Amino acid sequence: MQNEARLQKALAAGGVAAFDWDLKSDLLQNSESAAQILGIDPRKTVTSTSFLTRVHPDDRKVLKAVVRSVSPSNPSYSAIFRYIRPDGREVWLEETSKAEFDAVGRVVSVEGLLLDITERKRAEERQRALMAELDHRVKNVLARVAVVAMSTRQSSGTLDEFVRSLDGRIQSMATAHALLSQSRWHGVGLTSLVNTQLAPYATDANIRISGTDVTLTAAETQAMAMVLHELVTNAAKYGALSIPGGRVLVNWDRRPNGDATATLMLEWRELGGPPVAGELQSGYGTSLIRDLVPHELGGIVDLVFASDGLVCRIEIPLETV
């Protein structure tokens, strides 16, 4: 009795149920662990017919075919299928069984084990979903890099200029991806994003950032990173960050729309820089800002090259992270 009790405990702990199917009576003798795995009442009689009715319809036909394929020369079989418990919960089972035959080769009984592999299947599904998401992201990144490379080349006068500009844009994208990786792609705070994009040029005196932190989605983070990079690059080459005494003020506000949505209002303002050159208004960076905000962020942008410095105002709808 003690050995039997230990065996039943071991089977239950391992998520395994043992059974013996007598084909003449069509009755299944199950170990006590079957009640835990299959959700059946151990006091009730179980037949192969009642068991099969709970096998997932998409798996039932295949399971029947596997069982019917046994023969005296090939008595063992294995199958993986879904089972719907009486409480409605779906579990994945892996069955490993062996048939016994009479003198004329007819199956008289089947003994086997049922292993609950639900968690393994869920882990595999999560892995497939992660791989699909990774594949999607990599394709998006490569497509974006290709577009940026082509546009940067068209707007560059020399090869050195092309390499510098492209490297800066790719580094900006990499920084945004690093922030997203830290949060496991659950979103990035706007404060962190602005600070990282401005970091190469920031001092205690030339940058002022203000605004209640807002969490951006992965898509918003990547698009906003590109916008900020172009603003930073322009300020460092031609604007307020190109000379001592220049300053950049970045402030934003999150404004509820009266429903479940909100709008981000962001302003980038440069002060104390050199006189604004008119030709900057048609560069690739400014074109990217004007195109990307409405097309990828669904917002509006007002880019003004005022005499005392560039002003960029952006309004975008915020998604729930």
Residues 152 and 12 placed together within one structural domain of the fold? no
Report residue 314 CA to chain centroid gap. 28
Rounded to the nearest integer, the mean pLDDT of the chain is: 87
Residues 163 and 258 placed together within one structural domain of the fold? yes
Tokens representing residue 245 in the block: 């005494």
Find the mean pLDDT for residues 257-268.
Answer: 87
Tokens representing residue 127 in the block: 């892995």
Residues 152 and 245 placed together within one structural domain of the fold? yes
Residues 94 and 227 placed together within one structural domain of the fold? no
Domain termination site, one of 96, 116, 136: 116
At 305, phi and psi to the nearest 5? -95, 75
Residues 202 and 286 placed together within one structural domain of the fold? yes
Residues 59 and 184 placed together within one structural domain of the fold? no
Q: What is the CATH number of the domain that holds 97?
A: 3.30.450.20
CA distance 234 to 218: 25
Residues 100 and 127 placed together within one structural domain of the fold? no
Asked if 95 and 34 count as a contact pair (C-beta separation under 8 A), the reply is no
Total domain count, the chain: 2
Q: What is the CATH number of the domain that holds 253?
A: 3.30.565.10
Residues 304 and 168 placed together within one structural domain of the fold? yes
The listed range with the strongest mean pLDDT (104-113, 168-177, 178-187) is 104-113
User: Would you say residue 88 has pLDDT above 90?
Assistant: yes
Residues 146 and 112 placed together within one structural domain of the fold? no
Lowest-pLDDT range of 30-34, 253-257, 265-269, 276-280: 276-280
Tokens representing residue 39 in the block: 């959700």
- Domain extent, residue 72, equals 2-116
Residues 169 and 299 placed together within one structural domain of the fold? yes
Say which residue the tokens 């983070």 belong to: 221
Find the mean pLDDT for residues 163-186.
Answer: 86
Domain termination site, one of 91, 116, 141: 116
Residues 138 and 52 placed together within one structural domain of the fold? no
Q: How many CB atoms lie within 10 A of CB 274?
A: 12
Find the mean pLDDT for residues 243-258.
Answer: 91
The structure's pTM equals 0.68
What pLDDT band is residue 2 in, cutting at 50, 70 and 90? very low
pLDDT tens-digit readout, 91-133: 999 999 999 999 999 999 999 999 999 999 999 999 998 888 7
What pLDDT band is residue 9 in, cutting at 50, 70 and 90? low
pLDDT > 70 fraction of the chain, expressed in percent and rounded:
93
Domain termination site, one of 94, 116, 138: 116
CA distance 245 to 34: 77
Residues 183 and 38 placed together within one structural domain of the fold? no
pLDDT of residue 108: 95
Q: What totals of helices (H) and strands (E) does the chain contain, helices first?
A: 9, 13
The CA-atom distances, in angstroms, between 163 and each of 171, 238, 314 are 12, 19, 29
